[in-house]
Amino acid sequence: MKTRVVTLLTAALLVSGCGFVGDGAGEGRQEKPVKENHMNMQEAGDRAEEMLDAFLGAIHPSVEVIPGASSASACSDFKNDSTGTGSVTRRRAVVTIISSERRGNFLGVVERYWKKHGYKITSVVDNKEMPAIYATAPNDFRVALEFGYAGQANFVVVSPCVTESKVTEPSRKPVDPEAFKSEGLPYLHSDFWSLKAPVPSSSPST
């Protein structure tokens, strides 16, 4: 059984070397203003985790997520052609099943959050099975929400070029091994997001 999640974004982000998120109900954790020019890679990784927590907190009903593969690499700041800088990528994989009928609504919640907080939408993939949306945050982080293999929703945050430093891995929530083997990802049913019917117009998520 294939269990790898393939995202269209990863290769492009690693090539660019610099970074990205996007409203739902307007709730959830508030993002803190940060001077990114004074960040190192560890601080950028922590900031990326805060951003992920903030817009995931705006999704109602909530979904279950696990950390995806994180990465850190050297990069070149094309504005200054500087050295000694690096970029950090953080990912979250949604293990809640989001039906094809409700993926547009799910993206809409995230897009509204992004716009409310000053993110600039840079690209949208209009596809029922594998839609995606990309944006740039006011702090120059780049973000994405993509649907990939088996309807897997993935969030990605990529930092701009910051001062190079050591970076620790984020803590990981273990996945139920039996559910993973038998069903793959995503595997958790939601009474709202997993339904194979359009979202009612009166729903709070719309």
* Percent of the chain with pLDDT strictly greater than 90: 55
Domain contains 163: yes
What's the first-to-final CA gap in the chain, in angstroms? 35
Above 90 in pLDDT, residue 190?
Answer: yes
Sign of CA dihedral 164, 65, 126, 28: negative
Q: What are the pLDDT digits (tens) for 3-44? A: 333 333 333 333 333 333 333 333 344 444 444 457 999 999
Domain contains 2: no
pLDDT, greater one: 165 or 200? 165
Domain contains 194: no
Structure token digits, residue 46: 């922590």
Q: What are the pLDDT digits (tens) for 90-126? A: 999 999 999 999 999 999 999 999 999 999 999 999 9
* Percent of the chain with pLDDT strictly greater than 70: 70
pLDDT, greater one: 137 or 79? 137
Domain contains 69: yes
**In the chain, how many domains are there?**
1
Q: What are the pLDDT digits (tens) for 64-86? A: 998 888 898 888 544 444 557 89
Domain contains 204: no
Residue 115: its pLDDT value, please? 97
Picking from 162, 113, 116, the residue whose alpha carbon sits closest to that of residue 141 is: 162
Provide the domain limits for residue 60: 10-183
Give the pTM.
Answer: 0.76
Domain contains 98: yes
Structure token digits, residue 113: 């959050």
Domain contains 168: yes
Sign of CA dihedral 205, 137, 161, 33: negative
Domain contains 27: yes
Residue 185: its pLDDT value, please? 82
